[in-house]
Amino acid sequence: MNAIYIELVEDSLTEFVYPAELGGLQYELSALNYGIQLTVHGFNHKIKQLLDKVLDRMVNIKIEKQSFEIIKEKVKRSLQNFRREVPYQMAYFGVTYLTAEHQWNKDELLSCIDGITIHDVEAFIPRMLTRFFTDSLMYGNLTKDQALEYMTSIERKFQEKRYYQPLFPSCNYAYSMLNDAHKLHAIEIYLQCFQQTLENNALLELFCHFVDEPCFDQLRTKEQLGYVVSAGARRSRGVQGFRVIVQSARELDHVNQRIELFIESMRDYILTMSDEQFKKQREGCMVKKVEVPKKMRSQGNRFWMEITNHQFCFDRSQLEGEIIQNLERNDLICFYDHYISLNSIHRRKLALHVNPSSLALQKPNDETNNVEQEYDSTATDEIETEQVEVIIPTGAIHGEIKLTEQPVIIEKLNETTTTTTNEAENVLPKKELNLPQAEWIDNIHVWKSKLSCYPLAQSYDKIDVPVLCKL
């Protein structure tokens, strides 16, 4: 009902906001798992009028039966099309769903949408708004008094609370989903590590900085598992871990083996690199961390994420950058041995498999294999934002590479040419690891009921907003 409500509000505002958009004002209204997010941005001299109009429509919307039926059908189609999404995006959603304490999956939402009536939505709106609590960020060309004035326009009646599921020590869970539109497969391997703190964040980010490029080079360029290959940090609801995601035409058992073999190789990669190379990599991570955003909106998004996460560490980049500068090689090795190593008793693995359904397998190849070309930077935003619940963020997928622009990955060898010793050393051996047996999740509700929750991430007590973008 929340999604239907948001769509109805947006539909009712279409005629009003069109001139505003032409004049440089925009708004975005989104239904989240734990509430609603409203963003208004643009030229400041008329921004309050747009904010007031949107809020007024949210509170006083009059629902017409014809509009309700159209919007309801639109939301239903969106839920039905979930199994036609790009496989790696389904994998991302699957891990988020499995590790959330309370979240409905698409099939559960779809099963009840037919029974929702216009009277249900009309009753839902005041019931929700009477429980409204607001987190807000006012950022840009306005004063404190103006920000307080804007806040008086917003209902403060809804309280949001976020949790995150920890996995049991030394566990190896797996879950499978089907995709109806593509013959490709996708897998996300998530190794849950620890809660979010400044120190933990810095340690995980430095490790991901060392691993990201070798992961892309090995699994994508050398082994050609697929165009979509990414490694990085996954953060949500105060907990974080290391994840690798691959979208591939190959069977996922093989892809899982190659990912695990790559992860196994990273310990020696970090341990044997020269001191000079280690310091250079660490310096690069620190510089990237403290880099000032080039756009005001980017900095505003960082501030907003601190508020929605209830952590309020507005100078996080500088603080974590200083911690990264003091981390040593042994810190990464200890982190790897405890949380990442296949032999660690503390390793917590969740693998999300997305496979083509029988419906997808019946489609002609030209209808199902275009997904690589559809991949673009918007997918990165979603993944980073789990670094959001998003709204945000972590780990980056490399830029768009279209099929027609694909560089030569494997050089052709003539009859008299053989692979050099150095080239051979750069390719992981074609061996199989003795991986522990995965416990496949059949009943998600029963599985979640056996798990306890991490405590929420703690707020930062020294609140200070740095001025990084001057007007």
Q: How many CB atoms lie under 10 A from the CB of residue 56? A: 12
Among 29-38, 179-188, 452-461, the range of highest mean pLDDT? 179-188
Alpha-carbon span 397 to 402, nearest angstrom: 14
Q: pLDDT digits over 213-233, tens only?
A: 999 999 999 999 999 999 999
Mean pLDDT of 397-417: 34
Asked if 91 and 178 count as a contact pair (C-beta separation under 8 A), the reply is no
Alpha-carbon span 271 to 424, nearest angstrom: 20
For residue 56, the model assigns a pLDDT of 81
Alpha-carbon span 352 to 259, nearest angstrom: 13
Alpha-carbon span 322 to 317, nearest angstrom: 9
Is the pLDDT confidence value at 186 over 60? yes
Asked if 8 and 76 count as a contact pair (C-beta separation under 8 A), the reply is no
Alpha-carbon span 67 to 72, nearest angstrom: 8
Is the pLDDT confidence value at 332 over 50? yes
Mean pLDDT of 388-397: 31
For residue 454, the model assigns a pLDDT of 75
- Residue type at position 217: D
For residue 411, the model assigns a pLDDT of 34
Q: How far is CA 59 from CA 33, 52, 111, 138, 155, in A?
A: 20, 11, 28, 21, 9
Alpha-carbon span 155 to 130, nearest angstrom: 9
What's the whole-number average pLDDT of the chain? 80
For residue 168, the model assigns a pLDDT of 59
Is the pLDDT confidence value at 360 over 70? yes
What is the dihedral angle through the alpha carbons of 126, 131, 137, 143, rounded to the nearest 10 degrees?
A: 80
Helix (H, G, I), strand (E, B) or coil at 96: helix
Q: To which H or E segment does residue 359 belong?
A: helix 358-361
- Residue type at position 325: Q
pLDDT band of 464, cuts 50, 70, 90: low
Classify residue 310 as left (phi > 0), alpha (psi -120 to 50) or beta: left
Mean pLDDT of 14-31: 86
Among 2-11, 366-375, 395-404, the range of highest mean pLDDT? 2-11
For residue 370, the model assigns a pLDDT of 57
- Residue type at position 143: T
Is the pLDDT confidence value at 374 over 60? no
Alpha-carbon span 293 to 304, nearest angstrom: 14
Mean pLDDT of 23-33: 86
- Residue type at position 29: L
User: If you search the block for the tokens 């326009």, which residue do you land on?
Assistant: 153
State percent of the chain over pLDDT 70: 79
Beta strands in 308-466 (DSSP E): 348-356, 439-440
Q: How many CB atoms lie under 10 A from the CB of residue 159? A: 11
Q: How many CB atoms lie under 10 A from the CB of residue 428? A: 14
**pTM listed for this prediction:** 0.64
Weakest mean pLDDT among 316-320, 411-415, 444-448: 411-415
pLDDT band of 427, cuts 50, 70, 90: low
For residue 154, the model assigns a pLDDT of 66
For residue 463, the model assigns a pLDDT of 57
What domains does the chain contain, in order, with CATH numbers? Answer: 1-165 (3.30.830.10), 171-364+401-410 (3.30.830.10)
For residue 353, the model assigns a pLDDT of 96
State percent of the chain over pLDDT 90: 37
pLDDT band of 446, cuts 50, 70, 90: confident
Q: Which residue has the higher pLDDT, 20 or 413?
A: 20
Is the pLDDT confidence value at 155 over 60? no
Q: pLDDT digits over 90-138, tens only?
A: 998 889 888 887 788 888 888 999 999 999 988 888 877 776 667 788 8
Among 148-157, 294-303, 368-377, the range of highest mean pLDDT? 294-303
- Residue type at position 220: R
Order of strands across the sheet with 348-356? 228-236, 239-248, 185-195, 348-356, 171-179, 439-440
Of 249, 240, 155, 157, nearest to 204 (Cα)? 240
Q: To which H or E segment does residue 120 belong?
A: helix 118-129
Alpha-carbon span 273 to 411, nearest angstrom: 27
For residue 243, the model assigns a pLDDT of 97
Is the pLDDT confidence value at 458 over 90? no
Is the pLDDT confidence value at 468 over 60? no
Is the pLDDT confidence value at 405 over 80? no
Q: Which residue has the higher pLDDT, 79 or 373?
A: 79
